[in-house]
Amino acid sequence: MYRNLFSCKDKVALVTGGLGLIGKEIVRGLNDFGASVCVADIDERQMKGLENLAAVNFQHLDITSENSIGQTLEAVIDQFTKIDILVNCAYPRTGDWGARCEDVIFDSWKMNLNSHLGGYFLCCQKTAEQMKLQGGGSIINFASIYGVVAPDFSIYEGTPMTMPVAYSAIKGGVIAFSKYMSSYYAKDNIRVNCVSSGGVFDSQPEGFVEKYTAKTPLGRMGTPKDMVGAVLYLASDASLYVTGHNLVVDGGWTAC
């Protein structure tokens, strides 16, 4: 009786940031488990590797634009009549992303919070209202371990990398906002949860990778594939009694 518990057959999924490092794997996973997947991103040229998947199509989306979000949702509803699953995985940021805390310009701070956290808010708000009409749905927002714990800045020493101050504020906000939405829309059978990923390997400097790995109990950085199971769980009927949860996928980083 549990064989199809994780199935997403006959469900429609919208993945914002679906052409990003993690987003592409989420699209593949949802597709493999039977969902019709709308890949919502800003540049269709990044569809390489997804174009041959059945039941996957591209929708242009600029998550920093309220008009673009509205148009994307309207296009999905026109095509499929519903949205069962929303995965917010977009990662908008300004050109000065990565500046040290003392060098961050306030206008940049406001723009990053407004575009990233604000974009997630608009996508959730508008999709939840559609899900109310359908009788329910599942919303999954990507947060981060740095919305849960403070960064360890020692792992960035000797590299050009740092952890932007706005990132922690945004991802902490995503977690708190998701909990709010889970309570607000529970009566409408809409579940809202988070996935907080640890560091995902993306050709970072060797010194950073070594230090990060040494602090991680499972002894490695994450991969995009490591995030797929968490999303499938929260998207499917396997998690019908789970809402307001922040599912941490970090190899044990925050356990220490």
Residues designated catalytic: 167
Two structure tokens written together for 63: 């998550």
Q: At what angle do helices 118-134 and 165-184 cross, to 10 degrees?
A: 20
Q: Would you say how long the chain is, in residues? A: 256
- Judge contact between 243 and 180, C-beta under 8 A: no
- Judge contact between 24 and 51, C-beta under 8 A: no
Q: What are the b/e assignments for 85-98, b being 16+ CB within 10 Å?
A: bbbbbbbbbbeeee
* Residue with token string 């594939």: 225
